[in-house]
Amino acid sequence: MVKTVNLNTDIPANRELRITLPADVPVGPAEIVLVVSSSDRAIGRTLGDFGHSEFFGMWRDRSDITDSAPFARDLRSEGWKRSA
């Protein structure tokens, strides 16, 4: 079984963290992965920021895509087939 728990925190000056996991996390061996992102990436990003990014509407002028939802679903499906 794989369980993912995402926790957000600030790293203190002494660089020590104490983590209390939720009760539904099983006991026993575990792999802990710490991802540290730079502060300029983590702070101030909102869904609205995405709407103003270069990615939002990047396919709007394509005449070969009549409905973006099935097109994106097919792209994801093909990607999963290739990675298997």
Q: What is the pLDDT of residues 11-62, one digit of tens each?
A: 889 989 998 888 888 899 888 888 887 655 545 677 777 777 777 777 778 8
7, 21 in Cβ contact below 8 A?
Answer: no
How does DSSP classify residue 72? H
35, 57 in Cβ contact below 8 A?
Answer: no
**Cβ neighbours for 68, distance < 8 A, ≥ 6 positions apart:** 59
Q: What pLDDT was estimated at residue 43?
A: 59
**Cα angle for residues 45, 50, 42 (degrees, 5° grid):** 20
Domain count, the chain: 1
Range of the domain at 59: 1-84
**C-alpha–C-alpha distance, residues 11 and 53, integer Å:** 29
